[in-house]
Amino acid sequence: MRMWGVNPKILCNRHLLGEHAEMHMFAGCILKKTSLKGYYKNKLVRTDLLKERHDMLADEMISRGMKHNSPMPEIDCSGLKYGEIDVKANTAELFRRCPDCRKRYNKIYKKTN
């Protein structure tokens, strides 16, 4: 699981839907009081941004004509470490994994490579 943290517009459909599902998985872990230690250590989650990120992803899904029928459950992250995400490292990893996301980025930001 990972919170990419990049502009949702650059995510291909597969990564957009995947990250959306992962926001729900993080919420489930929090509700079940499952440790997120490894995700914190590897800078893969910010619990204070979970709902905001979910909503950004859901808005992008809707803008692409996808259905969104899974609101984020109410979760209390106040007692949790918030964590951090490394957007620069995540972007590099995303582009390494996915040429479609890289193409979307290049199109949006008018890059030629």
3-24 in b/e form (b: 16+ CB < 10 A) is: bbbbebebbbeebbeebbebbb
Query: Per-residue pLDDT averaged across 82-108, rounded?
Result: 94
User: What would the pLDDT profile of 57-88 be if each residue is shown by its tens digit?
Assistant: 999 999 999 999 999 998 888 777 789 999 99
Residue 112 has pLDDT above 70, yes or no: no
pLDDT at 79: 79
pLDDT at 42: 92
Stated length of the chain: 113
Instruction: State the angle between helix axes of 13-31 and 50-63 in degrees (0 to 180), rounded to the nearest 10.
Output: 150
pTM given for the model? 0.91
User: What would the pLDDT profile of 29-56 be if each residue is shown by its tens digit?
Assistant: 999 999 999 999 999 999 999 999 999 9
Q: How many CA atoms lie within 13 A of 1 on its CB side?
A: 21
Radius of gyration (Cα) for the chain, nearest Å? 14
Residue 113 has pLDDT above 60, yes or no: no
pLDDT at 90: 94
